[in-house]
């Protein structure tokens, strides 16, 4: 994989590089060009120069090129999956079966949605109103390391479909598939400068990118503290931004629930070694069934196999980076020191060494404790009990976040009533992680700003215009 930037249709190096290590075994897998304000400026310049022609490109041609990119993704699906697993440690089988096919689908979906995007004209006292979606300009997209290519293309595809040009700054811990995507877009015939990739650290390349007044849209997925810096930079230029941030989502299990289903859904929260923003990390269980639920959960969790994510029977791979593993373990050790209990797990997997952390369930933690309120972003869940619907809702909403929630119940009436009261961008009832690209996606409170998906994506990546015409003389 080429570790240089992709700017204006060419590979561009930097005077310095940084090392990219695999979380699987710590091996050095690439040296990556370390971008600064210089490369960010060059990429925005290339994108700005390419914008007029790309914005004027007919919708059908833009859609054709997005489908060609999807074809390229599918042709290199195995390569992309292997590189992504090596770079971020997520399961190879997940990348092969779901994640990389979803990358291709991201491009196809927004290409097709573009062709049907529209609003019926409407009348005002004999005048005709016509709504249109105009390309906004250069988009700065800053993406995370937990699902690098899938989450990047969730932004890239609608931005390009809308007629914008893009500068992508991938996470420095997982830059490799962004580089491969640059090759795929070039092979598909995307004009030079329409898609650019700048590698580097957030404080260097990212900060310069979001502060550039030529950037007309910023989309970021990541942490709340970083989002504050980005929002401050965007404010100086009044640049519209979309933020998908952290979560501390509840998974509510009511006494009338199918407890086997509830336990299965709860164990699923360990997916990707717990490095999922949507994960329901706070298990809230009705007191009368808590012991029964917990026994089923512990049995299922014990059956999880932790190990090399390239092996087909592995369920949990490593965490992403030594710094992150230390952060995850810090949360757990502070909770235990404060009197909480680890019903399972409670520390790194010493049998495997490296960055493998045992799936952990924390009980007896106080409602105001750090472990209950802060996003850990590792394979760590907490268990609390409630005694009625009102308390369940109060506990679920007792967080500054509001990204998602999961409700497990045998009552359709309760599901509807509880879901209506939850503060969350997405609520799943008796299921988890079912996502459709035409649905709005985003977070409430400090879990984000704005919604993307379907027409909502085009509303963000475009300047909406209403043209009002007086009646023409006969």
Residues recognised as catalytic: 244, 277
To the nearest 5 percent, what fractions of the chain are helix, strand and coil? Answer: 45, 20, 35
Strand-pair partners of 17 = 33
Report the candidate in 440, 298, 303 with the shortest Cα–Cα distance to residue 383.
298
CA angle (392 as vertex; 386, 397 as ends), nearest 5: 130
Angstrom distance (rounded) from CA 182 to CA 160: 13
Angstrom distance (rounded) from CA 159 to CA 138: 9
Provide CB contacts within 8 A for 473, sequence distance 6+.
Answer: none
What the block records as the tokens of 284 is 């809230």
Confirm if 127 and 469 have CB atoms less than 8 A apart: yes
> What is the full DSSP assignment across 347-401?
SB-TTT-TT-B--EEEES--TTSHHHHS---SSEEEEEEESSHHHHHHHHT-SS-
Angstrom distance (rounded) from CA 396 to CA 282: 8
Angstrom distance (rounded) from CA 310 to CA 93: 7
Sheet arrangement for strand 127-135:
122-124, 127-135, 462-469
Confirm if 277 and 403 have CB atoms less than 8 A apart: yes
SS3 state of residue 242: strand
Report the candidate in 84, 88, 119, 87 with the shortest Cα–Cα distance to residue 101.
84
Which residue, chain included where needed, has tokens 């390391």? 145
């Amino acid at each position: 994989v080429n570790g240089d930037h992709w700017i204006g249709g060419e590979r561009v190096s930097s005077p310095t590089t940084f090392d990219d290590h695999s979380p699987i075994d710590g091996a050095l897998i690439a040296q990556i060009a370390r971008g600064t304000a210089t490369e960010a400026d060059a990429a925005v310049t290339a994108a700005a120069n390419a914008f007029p022609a790309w914005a004027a490109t007919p919708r059908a041609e833009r859609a054709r090129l997005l489908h060609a990119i999807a074809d390229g993704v599918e042709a290199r699906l195995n390569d992309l999956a292997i590189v992504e697993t090596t770079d971020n440690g997520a399961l190879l089988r997940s990348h092969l079966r779901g994640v990389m096919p979803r990358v291709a689908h991201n491009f196809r979906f927004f290409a097709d949605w573009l062709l049907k995007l529209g609003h019926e004209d409407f009348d005002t006292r004999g005048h005709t109103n016509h709504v249109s979606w105009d390309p906004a300009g250069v988009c700065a997209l800053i993406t995370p390391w937990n699902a690098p290519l899938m989450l990047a293309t969730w932004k890239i595809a609608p931005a390009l479909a809308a007629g914008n040009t893009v500068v992508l700054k991938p996470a420095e811990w997982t830059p490799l598939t962004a580089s491969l995507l640059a090759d795929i877009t070039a092979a598909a015939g995307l004009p030079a400068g329409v898609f650019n990739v700048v590698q580097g650290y957030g404080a260097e390349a990212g900060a310069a990118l979001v502060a550039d007044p030529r950037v007309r849209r910023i989309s970021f997925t990541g942490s709340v503290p970083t989002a504050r810096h980005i929002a401050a930079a965007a404010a100086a230029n009044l640049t519209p931004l979309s933020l998908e941030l952290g979560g501390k989502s509840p998974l509510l299990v009511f006494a009338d629930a199918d407890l086997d289903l509830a336990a299965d859904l709860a164990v699923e929260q360990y997916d990707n070694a717990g490095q999922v923003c949507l994960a329901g990390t706070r298990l809230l269980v009705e007191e009368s069934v808590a012991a029964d639920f917990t026994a089923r959960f512990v049995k299922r969790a014990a059956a999880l196999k932790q190990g090399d994510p390239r092996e087909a029977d592995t369920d949990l791979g490593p965490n992403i980076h030594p710094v992150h593993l230390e952060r995850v373990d810090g949360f757990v050790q502070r909770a235990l020191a404060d009197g909480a209990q680890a019903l399972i797990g409670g520390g790194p997997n010493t049998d495997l060494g490296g960055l493998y952390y045992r799936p952990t369930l924390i009980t007896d933690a106080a409602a105001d404790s750090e472990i209950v309120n802060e996003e850990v972003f590792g394979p760590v869940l907490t268990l609390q009990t409630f005694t009625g619907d009102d308390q369940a809702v109060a506990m679920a909403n007792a967080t500054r976040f509001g990204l998602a929630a999961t409700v497990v119940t045998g009552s359709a009436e309760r599901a509807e009533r509880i879901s209506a009261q939850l503060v969350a961008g997405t609520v799943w009832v008796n299921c988890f992680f079912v996502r459709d690209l035409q649905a709005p996606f985003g977070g409430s409170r400090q879990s984000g700003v704005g919604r993307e998906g379907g027409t909502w994506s085009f509303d963000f990546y475009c300047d909406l215009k209403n043209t009002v015409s007086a009646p023409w003389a006969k």
